[in-house]
Amino acid sequence: MQAHWDDLRLFLAVARAETLSGASALVRLDAATLGRRIARLEKQLGVGLFVKSPQGYALTDAGQRLMIRAEAAEEAMRAAAEGVSVHRVSADGPQFAALSGQIRLGAPDGCANYLLPQVCAALTDQHPDLDIQIVALPRVFNLSRREADMAIGVSAPTAGRLTVQRVTDYKLHFAASTEYLSKAPPLAHMSDLPQHRIVGYIPDMIFDRELDYLADAGVQRIALASNSVSVQLNLLRQGGGVGVVHDFALPTVPGVQRVLVNQFALQRSFYLIRHAADRDHRTLNRFAELLGQGIKAEVTRLERISGESGA
């Protein structure tokens, strides 16, 4: 017996959330009803799709096979239901139509706080029927579970059914507030760093090796630490010490300036990561193109301000 699309939709939600409670929030169906629907689907198909435990729902081999087919069906339904053609051709050449619908974008909080607000606000100005959700989390997003339609990452994943595009490079330097520097010991050379309070990531909560900035500087002790880059920047603004900061974030914190500029600098990259099944999704393709252009332009603009101000 074949499963109907609505059954597959519920199956995908449970497979991705791995719990009934998590899936129920995704599909707006109470957990008890969702559990009965999954049990009914298993009975219809004559196979167990999940192994249930106190920890949640894990896919069986049959569930894994159905997952592949369900995701293909999901993509086909998405394409069929897509209400906007991203481009049309006129006598004057290709013209792009307005985007609509909802797109969820995952990003680390540095990008989410200091780049995406202005980029996404500009996109919704251009596309009033487009709804953009920014999910800022200090971890790698699981696109296979559809936590987001696409994600910004600081390294290129090498596993999974994903497509990866490098968006832009960005720079980081040590920085501190002028108030802190006026009271602290001199900071003219890297060898002076041990005399200063260091602000940085909590070492065992660094979710990507590209964020281990202080290891490159030989720093041993972090006096003030957070898993959030925005919290770190606020610690610096409050005179907490010296830390590594994105150049593009510095224009948002007057009174915080770059230090040791000629002795220490880092360059990292942002990558746009998408599920491979979405490669032919016209709305997401156009949005990804506009998003990448906007992020690259905004990094260039803000880094130029940081350089001109001497920050």
Could you tell me if residue 89 is inside a domain? no
Pair of tokens at residue 206 = 């660094």
| CATH code, domain carrying 260 | 3.40.190.290
CB neighbours of residue 302 within 10 Å: 21
The verdict on 160 and 179 lying in the same domain is: no
The verdict on 256 and 275 lying in the same domain is: no
The alpha carbon of residue 177 and the mean position of all alpha carbons in its chain are separated, in whole angstroms, by 28
The verdict on 75 and 191 lying in the same domain is: no
- pLDDT at res. 156: 85
Could you tell me if residue 235 is inside a domain? yes
State in Å, rounded, how far the first CA of the chain is from the last one: 66
Domain boundary among 21, 48, 81: 81
Average pLDDT, the chain: 86
The verdict on 173 and 262 lying in the same domain is: yes
Q: What is the pLDDT of residues 175-213, one digit of tens each?
A: 999 999 999 999 999 999 999 999 999 988 887 888 888
Split into its structural domains, the chain has a count of 3
- pLDDT of 47 over the 90 cut: yes
Q: Which of 33-47, 91-105, 115-129, 190-204 has the lowest mean pLDDT?
A: 91-105
| CATH code, domain carrying 156 | 3.40.190.10
Query: What is the length of the chain?
Result: 311
Q: What is the pLDDT of residues 59-87, one digit of tens each?
A: 998 988 888 888 777 766 666 555 444 44
Which domain does 140 fall in, by range?
Answer: 101-164+269-309
Domain boundary among 81, 110, 129: 81
Pair of tokens at residue 65 = 């096979």
Could you tell me if residue 36 is inside a domain? yes
Give me the mean pLDDT over the 95-120 stretch. Answer: 88
The verdict on 181 and 258 lying in the same domain is: yes
Could you tell me if residue 92 is inside a domain? no
pTM for this model (two decimals)? 0.69
- pLDDT at res. 152: 93
Could you tell me if residue 86 is inside a domain? no
Q: Greater confidence, 264 or 93?
A: 264
The verdict on 144 and 277 lying in the same domain is: yes
- pLDDT at res. 85: 43
Could you tell me if residue 210 is inside a domain? yes
SS3 label, residue 253: coil
Q: Which of 13-17, 45-49, 84-88, 151-155 has the lowest mean pLDDT?
A: 84-88
Question: For the range 131-134, what are the long-range contacts, defined as Cβ-Cβ under 8 Å and sequence gap of 24 or more?
Answer: 131/101, 131/102, 131/103, 132/102, 132/103, 132/105, 133/102, 133/103, 133/104, 133/105, 134/105, 134/107
Q: What is the pLDDT of residues 231-240, one digit of tens each?
A: 999 999 999 9
- pLDDT at res. 145: 60
The CA distance from 39 to 19, in Å, is 14
The CA distance from 39 to 58, in Å, is 14
The verdict on 147 and 218 lying in the same domain is: no
The verdict on 217 and 274 lying in the same domain is: no
Q: What is the pLDDT of residues 263-290, one digit of tens each?
A: 999 999 999 998 887 877 888 899 999 9
The CA distance from 102 to 232, in Å, is 31
Residues of the chain with pLDDT > 90: what percent? 50
Could you tell me if residue 221 is inside a domain? yes
Position 146 confidence tier, pLDDT thresholds 50, 70, 90: low
The verdict on 110 and 247 lying in the same domain is: no
Domain boundary among 249, 267, 285: 267
The verdict on 273 and 260 lying in the same domain is: no
| CATH code, domain carrying 61 | 1.10.10.10
The radius of gyration of the chain from alpha carbons, rounded to an integer in Å, stands at: 23
The verdict on 238 and 188 lying in the same domain is: yes
The verdict on 263 and 178 lying in the same domain is: yes
